[in-house]
């Protein structure tokens, strides 16, 4: 089967934005069309990754609005929601639309508009994804992160500082990302002395609440060559769930969805963890970067923290992780995040990552919904 290529990408500035979801989506969509040199009427399918435009701003039907705003009518459109991994689910949907032959030019635009709501309101919308029993007991995603971090530190004799170093590394990377919400370095002391949110995790272990959007254009590889010589292919992609009830998992320090989705993606790509040159992981909480880097097979179980300590995952390390700044510094507009991860991998693979550029032929993006409830792993390869 012919491979699916990515031939264009864009993202808006992430942060507090004075624009509604429609405007954010249109901004990224327009920029992506321009990036690829594709006309709106060439788009056959248009997917929107978005968790909660209805809950956040009382607007639904945004895919239809976007189709008109981009002058892409009568392109088929739908919204893909997989909570915090809606972006990865959108990548999977877009890939499927091309791989199935249904569309020869598919645009994916992911976005979320959140900052006009209070932190409590936004957190409550996100918490609605948890199991009702957990929700009623107040076990929201940050609580799970705190409990899991405590267990991880105990189980693997990891120092608390190692978590802080994830934040320091990702903020450092974000400095060079013009789209990032926080373009400022933080030192370890600042992280470790920031206010406790869910012990042992503190404010700087968490990603912010963010507005933003990102977009990608997918087509068959044969079509890609008509537009550009520098593109990337999705060589492997897979998705998997874990239990909705988090406390029913056998080992809370293993994310089954990451293991299973990456198994599928690796097998499809004919590649393994050792082949990956750069990765974007879902560091909604610092602890998640450890778990994913292990469950993806980059490091042995319980050793992800050592890789960070030793600088392996630094931008100039052996396996740079979150060169974009990650969700931690770049921000986390739910529906956009998984799309922005692939945006970063794409930029790295085609050599357009500017000051963040690393050497990479193979990249991987791992987008996590809920607390590992659903995961999409995407492996891409450069074609030049």
Residues at the site binding a second copy, with contacts judged by CB under 8 A: 1, 45-46, 51-52, 54-55, 58-61, 63-65, 67-68, 72-83, 86, 89, 92-93, 95-97, 99-102, 125, 128-132, 237-245, 256-257, 260-261, 369-370, 373-374, 376
| Phi, psi values for residue 253, rounded to 5° | -90, 5
Nearer CB in complex with a second copy: 201/265: 265
By beta-carbon proximity to a second copy, the closer residue of 115 and 130 is 130
Q: Cβ closer to a second copy: 95 or 299?
A: 95
The nearest distance, CB 369 to a second copy, in angstroms, is 7
Residue 2: count other Cβ atoms within 10 Å of its Cβ.
Answer: 12
Distance CA 255, CA 245 (A): 13
Rounded Cα distance between 250 and 303, Å, is 19
Residue 382, phi then psi, degrees to nearest 5? -75, 145
Q: Is 251 helix (H, G, I), strand (E, B) or coil?
A: coil
In the complex, least distance from residue 269 CB atom to a second copy, rounded to whole angstroms: 14
Q: How far is the C-alpha of 269 from the C-alpha of 195, rounded, in Å?
A: 43
Q: Which is nearer to a second copy, 98 or 214 (CB)?
A: 98
Residue 36 C-beta: closest distance to a second copy, Å: 21
As a whole number of angstroms, the distance between CA 194 and CA 185 comes to 14
What's the closest the beta carbon of residue 75 comes to a second copy, in angstroms?
A: 6
Distance CA(278)–CA(275), nearest Å, equals 9
CB of 274 to a second copy, least distance (A): 24
Please, which residue, 67 or 340, has the CB nearer to a second copy?
67
CA dist 226 and 209 (Å) reads: 39
Min CB(98)–a second copy separation in Å: 8
Taking the least distance from each CB to a second copy, the nearer of 78 and 196 is: 78
Residue 64 or residue 228: which is nearer to a second copy going by CB?
64
Beta carbons of 43 and 4 less than 8 angstroms apart: no
How many other CB atoms are there within 10 angstroms of residue 115's CB atom?
21
Q: Smallest gap, in angstroms, from Cβ of residue 270 to a second copy?
A: 15
**CA-based angle 274:167:240, to the nearest 5?**
50
SS3 156: coil
Residue 358, class by beta-carbon neighbours within 10 Å (0-12 exposed, 13-18 middle, 19+ buried)? middle
Kindly tell me which of 68 and 222 has the beta carbon lying closer to a second copy.
Answer: 68
Q: How many residues does the chain have?
A: 384
Q: How far is the CB of 370 from a second copy (least distance, A)?
A: 6
Classified as helix, coil or strand, 232 is: strand
Q: Report, in Å, the least distance between residue 374 CB and a second copy.
A: 6
Closer residue to a second copy (CB): 54 or 302? 54
Q: Per DSSP, what are the bridge partners of residue 380?
A: 234, 363
Residue closer to a second copy by CB (options 3, 356) is: 3
Name the residue among 59, 63, 52, 99 with its Cα closest to residue 215.
63
Closest distance to a second copy from the beta carbon of 102 (Å): 6
Q: Alpha-carbon distance 240 to 169, whole Å?
A: 28
In Å, what is the CA distance from 29 to each residue of 40, 114, 220, 349, 380? 9, 19, 19, 21, 21
């Amino acid at each position: 089967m012919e491979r699916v290529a990515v031939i264009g990408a864009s993202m808006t500035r992430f942060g507090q934005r004075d624009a509604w979801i429609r405007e954010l989506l249109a901004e990224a969509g327009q920029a992506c069309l321009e990036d690829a040199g594709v006309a709106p009427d060439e788009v056959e399918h248009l997917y929107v990754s978005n968790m909660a435009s209805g809950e956040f701003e009382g607007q639904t039907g945004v895919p239809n609005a976007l189709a008109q705003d981009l002058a892409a009518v009568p392109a088929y459109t739908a919204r893909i929601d997989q909570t915090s991994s809606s972006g990865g689910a959108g990548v999977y949907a877009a890939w499927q639309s091309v791989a199935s032959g249904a569309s020869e030019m598919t645009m994916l635009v992911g976005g979320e508009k959140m900052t006009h709501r209070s932190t409590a309101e936004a957190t409550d919308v996100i918490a609605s994804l948890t199991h009702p029993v957990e929700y009623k007991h107040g076990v929201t995603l940050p609580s799970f992160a705190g409990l899991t971090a405590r267990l991880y530190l105990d189980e693997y004799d990891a120092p608390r500082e190692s978590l802080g170093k994830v934040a320091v590394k990702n903020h450092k990377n974000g400095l060079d990302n013009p789209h990032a919400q926080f373009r400022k370095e933080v030192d370890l002391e600042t992280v470790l002395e920031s206010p406790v949110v869910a012990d042992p995790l503190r404010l700087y272990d968490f990603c912010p609440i963010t507005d933003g959007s990102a977009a990608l254009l997918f087509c068959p590889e044969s079509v890609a060559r008509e537009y550009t010589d520098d593109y990337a292919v999705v060589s492997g992609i897979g998705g998997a769930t874990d239990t909705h009830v988090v406390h029913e998992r056998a080992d809370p320090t293993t994310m089954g969805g990451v293991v299973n989705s990456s198994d599928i993606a690796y097998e499809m790509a004919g590649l393994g963890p050792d082949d990956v040159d750069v990765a974007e992981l879902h560091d909604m909480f610092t602890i998640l970067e450890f778990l994913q880097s292990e469950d993806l097979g980059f490091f042995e179980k319980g050793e992800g923290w050592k890789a960070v300590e030793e600088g392996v995952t630094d931008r100039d390390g052996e396996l740079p992780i979150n060169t974009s700044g990650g969700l931690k510094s770049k921000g986390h507009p739910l529906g956009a995040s998984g799309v922005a991860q692939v945006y970063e991998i794409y930029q790295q693979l085609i050599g357009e990552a500017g000051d963040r550029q690393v050497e990479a032929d193979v990249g991987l993006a791992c987008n996590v919904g809920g607390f590992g409830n659903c995961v999409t792993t995407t492996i891409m390869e450069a074609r030049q």
